[in-house]
Structure 1
Amino acid sequence: MDLSDETRIKATSEEANEWAGKNKSPNTPSPNFISHIFYLTAAMSHYGYLKTISTYNDLSKVMEEMQRHLDMLTGDGSWRNGPRQARIEAAIKLTKDEITKVKAQQLSFEVQLLDPELVFQSIGFTTFLSVWLIRQADPRKTHPSPVVELPLPQEVPMSFRVLPEYLVEDIVDYLVFAVRNVPESFALSGKTEVMQFILTFLTSTWYIKNPFLKSKINDVLFMAIWPYGRERNGILGSMLNTHPMALKHLMPALMHFYIEVEQTGASSQFYDKFNARRNISFVLKAIWDNPVHREALNVEAKNVDKFVRFVNLMINDVTYLLDESLSELTQIHNIQVEMDDKATWESQTPEHRRERESTLRSLERHASSYTTLGRSTVELLKLFTAQTKTPFMMPEIVDRLAAMLDYNLDALAGPRCQDLKVRDAEKLRFNPRALLSDILQVFLNLADQPEFVCAVAGDGRSYKKELFERAADIAIRRTLKSVTEIEKLRLFVVKVEEMKATLEAEEDLGEVPDEFLDPLMFTVMRDPVILPSSKTTLDRSTIKSHLLSDSKDPFNRAPLSIEDVIPNTELKAQIDAFLTERRKNSGSFQQPQDSNVNIPKMEVD
């Protein structure tokens, strides 16, 4: 079998050829009979069985496309009793006939691919291949006796790098197929090998070059906890909460991959990351009740730089996903209102109606995806802020977190919330009450943190006392929160109002010289630093926040790390002197001496 044209796991063709030349000599023993059979079986599986599975999967895509075409043809039925009726009915019949043919093909494939004996043998070979592959990466070459130590070394051995990529791809593709279609077939064997394969290459993702392949491994983990039959935790759910390897490495693996998918180098990385992170969120929620996993999170949080980056990406995702989903829900609402006005709607041209219906279906597909992803990320934020709070209070995180929460609270409980009332909310997977409850819970989780109180008070864009009053009213009427939780929210608002008054008094600085203002945030810099490449000065917290998502100078896109920035001590001294002088001239702000403030009661119907 000629491998010269095959993509390798992590090596280029030139590196593979050079390695083969160095390891080829007259004294090299020829592969024995068992080795020949092993590689021939792998090749047969790749070119035969896995190719057949790929063809079967393609039929599902064809079926989905034909169903969308049928939905488009059917439309709202306005073509009935019109000049186009005969032509459209013929097209509908033709499409239904094609769907029937494709369904028959699917059933024919399933009869062969899901044959119990073939499935049993295929799972056995796939798990054997996965164990063999891990052994090639294991420095001791002993896996599974003893099991490989994770994470793997940073230096990837060339003997592993030059292996054909399809070996990994075939393992992943078959596991996806089997876990999705015949999960009960793993009842007797294969679970441990699947878990070890997933954890090995999610904790040590640098062993695989292809970002899509790494995401597929994450997909297998996600599907492996889907319930089936009487098994509520999927094929791996119970093992992830009991097996020593999972208890030690699962949390670090998930956090590592959550960060890695932000920048994979693929052209579609921006959208791919949301599906990968949705899967991670699902797994994290499935294991969250296990105290060993929660303690593993606390251990990971001690690596402050890594955890802060993880938190920052979570906030970025929530910001984008909720903004997109709420925007599209508003557009869906507007189209539905437009269609409800029957007289005006029927007066429009057929082309206009078809275009608006097509836009509506497209918005519904996107909104469904965004609401699901956004909700799962908010749930993750709720869990993490309950468990560990310090990383969320970092200067480069806390202001953005507060602004994001205030903005989305305004969308869900403010005047704009009426625009989110859409028909078939369940179809769009939109549950505004649950989303509001989760966002309020994040506020409650962090209500005792002074940095968070200050950040909410400093949010001049979305924070309003009245907004929290409306949210509390909704939470009481819809029984989203208990009376005790609402009282805690009220106390939080009182603290925010006090801090807001303090900040307003302190920040009444009059006219501020432009050179004292951060060029990105337009706030007074407290710790100005110089970027070495662009020579731009901005606040340290601003550039730290930027570098959490992008390792480039924002002004000229040159590579940059926080260690490279240069403190601008001269400018800092000037700013400090300016602030001292202005505060002296304006008089010191006197904070309330009595801490036993009266908490105003919010009126609730």
Structure 2
Amino acid sequence: MASSVIKEVFKVTSDAANVPFNYTLIELGVTDFSKDDVDSILLYQLTENSQLLQPFDYLNASYERYEKQRRLNKNLIASDKAISGLFENIDKLIVGYGLVTFQVEDFAINGNFTNYIKNIVTRSNDYTNFLSHIIRRAIVEDSLLEFLNNFFPVLLNYLTGQLESFDLNDSNIYNNVIEIFELFVNYKPVASIFTQINTFYPHYSCQANEFEKKTLLGPLLALSPLASNVALRNYGDNLERSKQQTKIIHESLQTEHKVVVDRLFFIMDKIIRGSLESRTGVISYWSQIVNKNHLRRGEHASQAKLASNAFMTNIALILIKFSQPFLDVSYKKIDKIDVNYFNNLNLYIDLSNETRLNSDFKEADEFYDKNKKDDENCKPNFISDCFFLTLTYLHYGIGGTILFDEKITTQIKRIKEEVERVKKVSNLNPLLNNFINLQVKNLEKSLSLTSSLKSSLQGFFSHRYIQLEIFDFVCGASTFLMRVIDPSHQFPSKAFDLPLIPDQIGFENVDNAEYLRSKAPIPFKYYPEFVVEGLINYTQSITKFANSPLFQNPRLSSFVELGTTILRCPELVSNPHLKGKLVQVLSIGALPLMDNSPGFMIPIFENNDLVRKNLLYALLDFYVIVEKTGSSSQFYDKFNARYSISIILEELYYKIPMYKKQLIWQSKNNPDFFIRFIARMLNDLTFLLDEGLTNLSEVHNVSNQLNNSTATDTNDSNIQDLQGRLAAAQRQAKSSCGLAAKSMTLFQIYTKDIPAAFASAELVDRLASMLNYNLESLVGPKCGGLKVKDPEQYSFNPKELLEALCTVYINLSDESEFISAVARDTRSFNKDLFIRAINILGKKTGLVSDDFCNALFDFARKAQERKDSEEEEDLEYGDVPDEFLDPLMYTIMKDPVTLPASRVNIDRSTIKAHLLSDSTDPFNRMPLKLEDVIPNDELKQRILEFKNGKKKEKANA
């Protein structure tokens, strides 16, 4: 019995006269083999049998045959101790030698670790059982780390060096490799020392782009549809595919990716739960990766020198899964995240070059040096490490992928234009065809790759399941940041009130960065900016993709609460560009949906208590503050932010009556604040209308020149110059007219319900002159210069703009100060312009009613009467001494004040209007506050005496 089992298990025989196929003749001087011969047989086979090309494969096959024999003879094993001992000995020796073959490479003849690994990777299912027993033996014999160090580094080398590629394109290989890792880490002793395996950590000189090739987990963590080979294989063959075909490819890869990420998380979870050392090791490993990849958010960084999008996004997704238990909707574990995390010694995350939310580097370093936790027992817990590392990966991992997507979109456009350009050159010069064809081929190859990568990014960001998990983290992180902002750090279990510091009435602190910084809450002000930027960048970007996780998401209110708080409390975040992105997200949520139902954030704006109380003031305040962004392009930066704010304000005004009431209340009870807001609106509208109409006139003129030149001019450079000027004018006209149209809408809305605010002394003259000037542009003698082909492409509808301007006149027609301001605008006011506007809007187009026309005519009549009256009054005064005239407006001052630095006398309303936009003395640019101006009562009295004297002279004449 024993001999037959041994012969069958090891495929050996001692009968020289009868050697079956695939059997080995072993002469031990006995006819039959016994238990004592097993060791000798194995030694011979492994060390002397030159025909045995795959020693480990032989042992594995022997173990399979052993188990088959064990099943066949289970009854005999149970009843016969000798047979039982035989089987135990075979088991022990096969597994033992299996372990030895991975301890001493040249122990067996033809021994080769790489060949063993190759076979295991190719047919992992065939080896799973045998490997399991070897792992258990290594654990028992306390040689586990030695075994792992001989197994996994070789596996890494095989995957990155000898395999042609290791990615999702070969499902058999990558599935087998994942199975191998799953098998090993399922054993807790393996998981507990996994980070001790050679090549788990990178060499200190490892570059940012080498982690996925030179570290043990690298190849696994890079398994993603975002890998370039996978993108090209799936999307590159048919760039002209239909939307349905693209959708099918997306869904297939999305399903595969989800399974892969879940399996990778299983592996990482086992390692992290293995031991404190392995948990710390994984966090350290991921930290090293992200610390060397901060340039992924750099504008001009070389992608080839950085970790891939596939690698970084997968790690981010795994970290997000780890964060789910303590950021669920119950927030029962949110207090486990350390609010003062960055005070700890030996942080994993490198903050040395990180911009802070509202402090400079020196102030932040001094704070941390003073408040560092130096007690060893105060080390951060895993939850805190995991949470803040996830925030870091959201910004540099997924955020870097978002930035790559933006860049590659531009790159694709550029390559397509280059292909067209090169083809045109080919048509002009056939002699260069061979060279040009090669150039076109290379360009088309590049286009295929970049277009494939773009498609893979679309597939990734439209994968609702994965994006929901990411956005759940965004919402959970938003709630935690609200907890940090909360002075008592008890949110969300206990609400807190906004604003954190009293609202400042007056102009001196509107743009005072130092003042706001001094009031910023601790420790929030010292947090790295990326903790907020990552959330905003992701949320802004994901709204562009199908199946956005923001839609129909009950957790969205958490993000909107954070956004409202940041806008309401300007001391929290100093970076206006982040706030600009934030209002863009809120504006998308405010816009009506395709079925014309309210925007998906409107219910939150209406029903969330914190948002409802603070959003309007926050938007109005940021509208003013965004005037200065600190960049060289700040003059233009503000328009995009204000455009987004205008969208939200309009939707709030029409969709939620409560916000209309709040606006009217602010205009009456907080006039300085509200007038400051209107002043910024007026500045923008004045510039945008002027810029837009000027560029439309340029489009008109250049188009005519171009038409004439095309017919008569043979000079290509002249034509190209005109084409360049036309494109620039078209681009600027489209931008300015679109922004102006939105601002004009707000003027129509607000002048109807809050007319008094627009007739204030600080604003009324500028408003009147702006309206008069643009009315003249639209219906005056030069209006023909605004005629362009297809005006809709510039968001320019002259009749609608004319109606809007006239509506503002009518809305303010009961305000006496406004009528006077329109009348005294000697540059542009002309009653005939109103008559022409009435003819265009009423008789020619029928856009407005008779009542509208009558109201506009009545206003023009009153303005003309006021003009005649004031001209008569001016004649009464005759020559006015220069000292009585306002130096900017050239009108007689009513309330003269003296400016403290320049000592210039100026009317109070004039300097107040100036300070709405600029907090400096207009004559010497020194800082100036309204309360610092000095009333000049003596001059005021002399002006009154002058006026009274002139009136007496007239009466006596």
Q: Same fold (TM over 0.5)?
A: yes
The answer for the alignment partner of 2:410 in structure 1 is 61
Q: Deviations over 1:51-92 (max 9, x none)?
A: 122211221233455567789899xx9x99867998999789
Q: Does 1:555 align with 2:903?
A: no
Please tell me whether the aligned partners of residues 248 and 296 of structure 1 are also in contact (alpha carbons under 8 angstroms): no
Highest Rg: 1 or 2? 2
Structure 1 residue 156: deviation in Å? Answer: 2.2
- Equivalent position to 1:281, from 637, 646, 653: 646
One of 534, 539, 542 as aligned partner of 1:175: 539
- Say whether 1:314 aligns with 2:681: yes
Within 1, Cα distance between the matches of 2:414 and 2:673?
42
Q: Does 1:402 align with 2:736?
A: no
Q: Mind listing any 5+ residue stretches in structure 1 that lack a counterpart?
A: 590-605
Q: Counterpart of 2:571 in 1: which secondary structure?
A: helix
* 1:6-21 aligned within 5 A: 6-21=354-369
Q: Matched residues in 2 for 1:452 and 1:92: separation? A: 65
Letter in 2 for 1:214: K
C-alpha change, 1:231 and 1:68, in structure 2 (3 Å) is farther
Judge conservation of contact 1:278–1:373 (CA < 8 Å) in 2.
yes
Aligned partner of 1:578: which letter? F
The 3 A distance-change label for structure 1 pair 51 and 528 is same
1:262 corresponds to which residue?
627
Alignment check: 8 A CA contact 1:137 1:156 kept: no
The CA distance in 1 between the partners of 2:925 and 2:555, in whole Å, is 48
| Residue in 1 that maps onto 2:527 | 163
Distance in 1 of aligned mates of 2:421 and 2:917: 40
Q: What's 1:237 paired with?
A: 602
1 CA distance for matches of 2:616 and 2:475? 23
What residue identity is the alignment partner of 2:378?
P
Offset, 1:161: 1.4
- Aligned ranges for residues 60-139 of structure 1 at < 5 Å? 60-65=409-414, 99-139=447-487
State the AA in 2 paired with 1:213. Answer: L
For residues 535-583 of structure 1, the C-alpha deviation after alignment (integer angstroms, 9 at most, x for no partner) is: 1112222111111100000111111111111122222222222222223
Aligned amino acid, residue 468 of structure 2:
F
Kindly state the Cα deviation for residue 433 of structure 1 after the two structures are TM-superposed. 1.1
Specify the alignment match of 1:597 in structure 2.
Answer: none
Match of 2:827 among 458, 461, 482: 461
1:338, 1:345 within 8 Å by CA — same for their partners in 2? no
> Which of 521, 530, 534 is the matching residue for 2:902?
534
Q: Structure 2 CA distance, aligned partners of 1:514 and 1:328?
A: 39
2:591–2:647 contact (8 Å) kept in structure 1: no
Residue 465 of structure 2 aligns with an amino acid whose one-letter code is E
Q: Secondary structure at the match of 2:356?
A: coil
Alignment match of 2:671 (pick from 290, 301, 304): 304
1:468-483 to structure 2, matched below 5 A, reads: 468-476=834-842, 477-483=844-850
Q: Sort the Cα spacing of 1:209 and 1:89 in 2 relative to 1 into closer, same or farther, 3 A.
A: same
- Return the alpha-carbon distance in structure 2 between the equivalents of residues 401 and 68 of structure 1: 45
User: Which of 350, 375, 387 is 2:741 aligned to?
Assistant: 375
Give the residue type in structure 2 aligned to 1:362: A
Partners of 1:506 and 1:320 in 2: how far apart? 33
Quote how far apart the aligned CAs of 1:39 are: 2.3
Counterpart position of 1:425: 791
Counterpart contact for 1:506–1:583, Cα < 8 Å: no
Q: Which residue of 1 aligns with 2:396?
A: 47
Deviations 1:141-162 (A, max 9, x none): 1222333322233632221111
- 1:34 lines up with 2:399 in the alignment: no
Deviation at 1:98, TM superposition (A): 5.1
Equivalent residues of 1:53, 1:113 under 8 A apart: no
1:354-380 deviation line (CA, Å, top 9, x unaligned): 111011111111110000111111111
In the other structure, the counterpart of 1:602 is none
* 1:503 corresponds to 2:867: no
Distance 1:35 1:322 in 2: 52
For 2:513, the equivalent position in structure 1 comes to none
Q: What RMSD over aligned residues (CA atoms) do the two structures have, in Å?
A: 2.7
CA-to-aligned-CA distance 1:385-429 (integer Å, 9 cap, x gap)? 011111111112111111111111111111121111101211111
SS at match of 1:207: coil
Q: Secondary structure at the match of 1:158?
A: coil
Q: Is the 8 A contact 1:191 1:235 kept in 2?
A: no
Cα separation, 2, equivalents of 1:66 and 1:427 = 26
1:477-522 deviation line (CA, Å, top 9, x unaligned): 2122111111111111221122111101111122222222222222
Q: Secondary structure at the match of 1:538?
A: strand
Greater Cα offset, 93-102 or 251-260: 93-102
Matched length: 585
Question: Does the C-alpha gap of structure 1 residues 86 and 445 become closer, same or farther in structure 2, counting only changes over 3 Å?
Answer: farther
Contact 2:706/2:722 (<8 A) preserved: no
Please report the TM-score for the alignment, with normalisation by the length of structure 2: 0.58
1:388 aligns with 2:737: no
Gaps (5+ residues) in structure 2? 1-347, 503-518
1:586-605 C-alpha deviation (Å, 9 max, x unpaired): 3499xxxxxxxxxxxxxxxx
* CA distance in 2 between partners of 1:244 and 1:100 (Å): 51
Question: Of 855, 864, 874, which aligns to 1:488?
Answer: 855
One of 564, 583, 605 as aligned partner of 1:199:
564
Residue type of the alignment partner of 1:18: E
Equivalence map 1:217-236=2 (5 Å): 217-227=582-592, 230=595, 232-236=597-601
Structure 2 match to 1:546: 914
Secondary structure of 1:529's partner?
Answer: strand
Give me the whole-angstrom Cα distance separating, in 2, the residues matched to 1:233 and 1:573.
58
AA aligned opposite 1:148: F
Higher mean C-alpha displacement, 520-529 vs 390-399:
520-529
SS in 2 for 1:341: helix
The answer to whether the Cα contact below 8 Å between 2:915 and 2:930 also exists between their aligned partners in 1 is yes
356-365 vs 148-157, greater mean Cα deviation? 148-157
Contact kept in structure 2, 1:211 and 1:266, CA below 8 Å: no
Q: Shift of residue 95 of structure 1?
A: 6.5
Q: Distance in 2 between matches of 1:28 and 1:462?
A: 76
Q: Does structure 1 residue 353 correspond to structure 2 residue 709?
A: no
Which amino acid counterpart does residue 458 of structure 2 have in structure 1? E
Name the SS for the 2:897 alignment partner: strand
The TM-score, its normalising length taken from structure 1, stands at 0.90
Moved more, 441-450 or 188-197: 188-197
Query: Please, which moves more after superposition, 53-62 or 382-391?
Result: 53-62
Does the 8 A contact of 1:398 with 1:452 survive in 2?
A: yes
- 1:514 is matched with 882
> More deviation in 247-256 or 104-113?
104-113
User: Per-residue deviation at 1:230?
Assistant: 4.8
In the aligned structure 2, how far is the partner of 1:148 from the partner of 1:529? 43
Cα-to-partner distance string for 1:99-148 (whole Å, 9 max, x where unaligned): 55432220022223433332121011111111111110011212223333
How far apart, CA to CA, are the structure 1 residues paired with 2:494 and 2:420? Answer: 56
8 Å contact from structure 1 (residues 227, 234) kept in 2: yes
CA separation of 1:162 and 1:85: change in aligned 2, threshold 3 A: farther
Task: Please give the alpha-carbon distance, in whole angstroms, between the structure 2 residues aligned to 1:166 and 1:4.
Answer: 13
Indicate the residue corresponding to 2:72 in structure 1: none
Code of the residue aligned with 1:57 in structure 2: it is E
Name the SS for the 1:9 alignment partner. coil
Q: Distance in 1 between matches of 2:733 and 2:401?
A: 34
Residues 85, 338 of structure 1: CA spacing in aligned structure 2 closer, same or farther, 3 A cutoff? farther
1-structure distance, mates of 2:862, 2:943:
29
Distance in 1 (CA, whole Å) between partners of 2:778 and 2:574 is 42
Distance in structure 2 (CA, Å) of the matches to 1:92 and 1:442:
57
1:586 lines up with 2:934 in the alignment: no
Whole-Å separation in 2 of the counterparts to 1:21 and 1:292: 48
| 2: CA distance, partners of 1:228 / 1:89 | 48
Mark the CA change 1:183 to 1:521 in structure 2 (over 3 Å): closer, same or farther: farther
Tell me, in whole angstroms, the C-alpha distance in 1 between the residues paired with 2:904 and 2:412: 55
